[in-house]
Structure 1
Amino acid sequence: MNSYLEKVKHNKLAQGVLLALYILVTSLSLYLAQKSVIAFLLLLSSLLLLHFTKLSYATKWVVAGLVLVVLLPLSASQGMAYQSYMEVVTLVGIYVAMALGLNIVVGLAGLLDLGFVAFFAVGAYTYGIFATAQAAEFMPFGTFPLGGESFWIFILLGCFVAALFGILLGIPVLRVKGDYLAIVTLGFGEIIRIVFNNLDRPVNITNGAMGLSSITPPQLFGITFIYPSQFYFIVLAILVIVFLSVRRLEYSKIGRSWKAVRENEIAAQSMGIHLVRTKLTAFAVGASFSGMMGVVFAAKQTFVDPTSFTLLESITILVMVILGGMGSVPGVILGAAIMTILNMQVLTEITNWLNQLSLSGVISIPDALSPAKMQRFIFGAILILFALYRPQGLLPAKNPIFNKELLKKKPKNTEISLPKEGANYVHPNS
């Protein structure tokens, strides 16, 4: 058995065949058993298996696109649970994009941020104010609410406005670090939430604690996006852009500067790295991703209020980054997916199942230990186990190691392709 596994481990063809069979079986299982959460999760886990294969980078993109764009929506679309499945994966995509943004600030630049959800709120309110009649309360011109076609422009506007707020946050925190940096960013997040909660007087801009309701849904070519299955493709498209951007930034000059600042600010500055510009860039880029997803969140929920952007949300996103592995893009994606699926689906399904058993008299559960009350306890216990046995994260970050001899022999303006998980080298694009 061990010899067979060793052969598969080094055989790309065998890995590809086994992965194809796995995807086919899980897709058919979900297609035939629409209410099977296990089949749904097993199909999603094929992306994790794909990450560990030795297939080429381009092949992985093709397979991942086939699973996410074709097989998952098609397999899940044959039953009543279709929209609930799409709701889960849409929220997974939203949190993955925000976790990737926070990973730039925390994982790459080493700047502990406990107020990251503030940028999410900025993006959501940027669209929510103008996509409702609320803008007419303080705008002397224009007709509000704006049409659903403006949603696509507001994705970019939410990105730029959140980046601006990221710079505004970065300016005062440049003089602090460590625990004091965490305190300042925590205060910034709470200030943003309180401002939105009280900005209904003397001029009513955010409608205060009542929030903004009946937000105009997106429209494109006469199609109105109101279902999770439609927002899924919007989130997927934005997520691909975010992922490619993060991967390019990670191994670019600014990405190496972020890592240098994270390791030692004095050494980085002595090597000519501009600390102020580097830190502000990290805050701005990370915030921009969160702002874009805030716009999508507001359009999907059609309602936003300050209670959606609490400190707990910021901590949850930070836990996603730490759980997956700080500085690791695949790890952050895995951490965000696990956290979201646990909260949204797995623990909820377990709670519903135990409640049904209790109501039918199969088991007797005391009120103090009711599944609804114990859900957060179970979630916390799972996080503790992860922290104890995987302190570096589920998929720790890997720094690329290049062969000096190959670099010396390399002609100018050419690239060296190194294997993803060779004995000594890791290719930065893997």
Structure 2
Amino acid sequence: MKNWLSTIQANKRLQAIMIGLYIVVTFLSLYLAQKSVIAFLLLLASLLLLYFTTFSNRIKWLVAGLVMVVLLPFAASQGEAYQSYMEVATLVGIYIAMALGLNIVVGMAGLLDLGFVAFFAIGAYTYGIFATSQANNFMPFGHYPLSGGSFWVFIFIGCLAAALFGILLGIPVLRVKGDYLAIVTLGFGEIIRIIFNNLDKPVNITNGAMGLASVQPPKLFGLDFMYPSQFYYIVLVILLVVIFAVRRLEYSKIGRAWKAVRENEIAAQSMGIHLVRTKLMAFAVGASFSGMMGVVFAAKQTFVDPTSFTLLESITILVMVILGGMGSVPGVILGAALVTILNLQVLTELTNWLNQLSLNGVISIPDALSPAKMQRFIFGAILILFALYRPQGLLPAKNPVFKKEDLTDTSGHPPMNAGVQKEGAQHVHLDS
């Protein structure tokens, strides 16, 4: 088996043929069998197979773009389940962006944050308040709700608002670590949710537990974005920006500073790293991604209320990061996609299938063990199995590999342009 895999890995033409056939077969399967969840998931799995190929990053991005922008929407659009598939794909993109933001805080900087969903709520309410008539209750000027064209501006406003609250959270928690940091951030998340839940008195700002209804949908060139298939492309563009930003930050000066703080704060400080500035930057950058997606979520749902931002949501996002591999960008993307698809589609479809068998008398399931009640149990059991057999995550973080000739010039001194060549083994080493 290893010889066969190494043969494939060494032959790019064979890889191209295999990945091409796989994409064509899964595309036709989804195109012809519109209600096939398996075909939909198999087509998405082509992105994971593409990651393991030895093609250049440019080719991988081009093929992935073809699949996500053209093939997946077109194949899914030929039947009734089109909007359902796009809803799942859109939510996957939203959770991937939030998980990448939390990965900066937890995976790279080593700061355990259990209140991350608060920044998601801040972004959602930032747009929701001004995109409904709610702002008329406290704003002395302007006419509300704002038009759907303001959505594109509020993406940046939500990003900045969440980043500001990330800094405000970071300032008082700089002195605490580990379990105490987790407790403080957990409290922050609950405080934000409770404030939004009770901020209808004495001035009605958030409408309290009733939430904000009839949020204005985005509008661009006279076109209203109202369906998941339209939001899919908005999320895809934002997600590409987030991935690009995270990858650039990972090997930048601030990215290396985050990892140094994660490993040993005292050693990092002795090397000249400013702990306060570095931690605040991690909180701000991570929160900004969540704030942007909060704005998109509010516009997509057209309704915002505090029940969407509970502690369970924060834990779910943290599970995505841990399951994929803390500090690993590809791992976090895979972990977020798996957890979201498991919750929204796989376990739901399994529950519906078992319920149908029970109704038809094929099997008899006690009420206490009904699939609807056991769905969370099954999800928890799957996570335990992953934790036992993949404790470092599905795709663990890898340190960069440097070539010896790029680290030294002809005189034996390191050149000014020595850089990262590729991701490789778990530890940095020199090729002999």
Calculate the TM-score normalised by the size of structure 2.
0.96
CA contact (8 A) 1:103 1:327 kept: yes
How far residue 407 of structure 1 moved from its aligned partner, in angstroms, is: 1.6
Alignment partner, residue 355 of structure 1: 355
How far apart are the structure 1 equivalents of 2:276 and 2:152?
A: 32
Alignment partner, residue 418 of structure 1: 421
Question: In the TM superposition, what whole-angstrom CA distance separates every residue of 1:204-241 from its partner, at most 9, and x where no partner exists?
Answer: 00000000000000000000000000000000000000
Question: In the TM superposition, what whole-angstrom CA distance separates every residue of 1:229-260 from its partner, at most 9, and x where no partner exists?
Answer: 00000000000000000000000000000000
How far residue 5 of structure 1 moved from its aligned partner, in angstroms, is: 3.3
Alignment partner, residue 343 of structure 1: 343
User: Which residue identity lines up with residue 418 of structure 1 in the other structure?
Assistant: Q
Unaligned runs of 5+ in 2: none
How far apart are the structure 1 equivalents of 2:273 and 2:3?
A: 50
How far residue 426 of structure 1 moved from its aligned partner, in angstroms, is: 9.4
How far apart are the structure 2 equivalents of 1:239 and 1:416?
A: 26
Q: Extract structure 1 runs of 4+ deviating beyond 2 A.
A: 1-6, 403-406, 409-427
How far residue 13 of structure 1 moved from its aligned partner, in angstroms, is: 1.6
Matches within 5 A, 1:211-250: 211-250=211-250
How far residue 413 of structure 1 moved from its aligned partner, in angstroms, is: 6.1
CA contact (8 A) 2:128 2:215 kept: yes
User: Which residue identity lines up with residue 329 of structure 1 in the other structure?
Assistant: V
CA contact (8 A) 1:418 1:425 kept: no
User: Which residue identity lines up with residue 122 of structure 2 in the other structure?
Assistant: V
- Structure 2 vs 1, CA of residues 208 and 270 (structure 1 numbering), >3 Å: closer, same or farther? same
User: Which residue identity lines up with residue 19 of structure 2 in the other structure?
Assistant: L
Is 1:123 the counterpart of 2:105 in the alignment?
no
How far apart are the structure 1 equivalents of 2:332 and 2:311?
A: 20
How far residue 6 of structure 1 moved from its aligned partner, in angstroms, is: 2.6
How far apart are the structure 2 equivalents of 1:422 and 1:273?
A: 26
Question: In the TM superposition, what whole-angstrom CA distance separates every residue of 1:5-48 from its partner, at most 9, and x where no partner exists?
Answer: 33112111211111011001100100000000000000000000
User: Which residue identity lines up with residue 96 of structure 1 in the other structure?
Assistant: I
How far apart are the structure 2 equivalents of 1:128 and 1:382?
A: 36
Alignment partner, residue 68 of structure 2: 68
CA contact (8 A) 1:351 1:372 kept: yes
- Structure 2 vs 1, CA of residues 398 and 423 (structure 1 numbering), >3 Å: closer, same or farther? closer
CA contact (8 A) 1:420 1:426 kept: no
How far residue 418 of structure 1 moved from its aligned partner, in angstroms, is: 3.0
Matches within 5 A, 1:134-145: 134-145=134-145
User: Which residue identity lines up with residue 85 of structure 2 in the other structure?
Assistant: Y
Matches within 5 A, 1:302-341: 302-341=302-341
Question: In the TM superposition, what whole-angstrom CA distance separates every residue of 1:162-192 from its partner, at most 9, and x where no partner exists?
Answer: 0000000000000100100000000000000
How far apart are the structure 2 equivalents of 1:402 and 1:188?
A: 41
Matches within 5 A, 1:363-374: 363-374=363-374
Alignment partner, residue 158 of structure 2: 158
CA contact (8 A) 1:254 1:278 kept: yes
Is 1:8 the counterpart of 2:11 in the alignment?
no
How many residues are treated as equivalent by the alignment? 427
Matched residues, percent identical? 79
Alignment partner, residue 292 of structure 1: 292
Which SS does the other structure have where 2:354 is aligned? helix
How far apart are the structure 2 equivalents of 1:172 and 1:259?
A: 21
- Structure 2 vs 1, CA of residues 417 and 257 (structure 1 numbering), >3 Å: closer, same or farther? closer
How far apart are the structure 2 equivalents of 1:154 and 1:192?
A: 20
Unaligned runs of 5+ in 1: none
- Structure 2 vs 1, CA of residues 420 and 264 (structure 1 numbering), >3 Å: closer, same or farther? closer
Matches within 5 A, 1:161-240: 161-240=161-240
CA contact (8 A) 2:161 2:291 kept: yes
- Structure 2 vs 1, CA of residues 24 and 153 (structure 1 numbering), >3 Å: closer, same or farther? same
User: Which residue identity lines up with residue 400 of structure 1 in the other structure?
Assistant: P
Matches within 5 A, 1:79-158: 79-158=79-158
Matches within 5 A, 1:44-63: 44-63=44-63
